Amino acid sequence: MTPNQRTFSLWVIPAALAIGIGLFALLIAGASFLRPASAVARNGTAVITVIFAPTSTPVLPTLAITPTATPGPGEATIGAIGTGMYVQISGTGGDGLRLRKEPGTGTDVMFMGYEAEVFKVVDGPQDADGYVWWYLTAPYDANRSGWAASNYLTVIELSP
């Protein structure tokens, strides 16, 4: 071998290696441009919006229930409430009527009965806190039951 042939073969190896590395780098760069963007980049950045509560809370009006005279035993009048009858909430001005766990104004409220909602009288009467209380149950949902003051109940007749 002559010296020219040996030097030629020595520089060809590093040149081929450099060309191979360059082609590999171009292949990796091309593949990164062709793949889809990451999920984080597609969805964007999360933004938290804080919504503050109003500064003042409106005060709900309280109902002032005025006691009325109730007929005693044997003094049944037209429209008098009795067990087995159907009654309708009325006279609340659309505010509804609180049906309670026990008779009395200081007992737990079970739920709010709507104006014109119909209930069946199941038990009562009981006197507590100056009112006459009746235990009512909604004919369509046995879970809607509780004690209600008779001042806001009107007897109704359901047609069969």
Q: What is the pLDDT along the chain (160 residues), one digit of tens a residue?
A: 555 555 567 778 888 899 999 999 998 888 777 776 655 555 667 788 887 766 666 666 665 656 655 544 434 344 688 889 999 999 888 899 999 999 999 999 999 999 989 999 999 899 999 999 999 999 888 889 999 999 999 998 876 5
Residue 78 DSSP one-character state:
T
Assessment of whether the complete model's pTM goes beyond 0.75: no
Q: Which of 159, 109, 138, 160 is nearest to 149 (CA)?
A: 109
Structural contact between residues 79 and 68, judged by C-beta atoms closer than 8 angstroms: no
Name the one residue in this structure whose structure tokens are 């039951």.
Answer: 145
CA-only gyration radius of the chain, Å: 42
Two structure tokens written together for 124: 């009562």
- CATH code at 86-156: 2.30.30.40
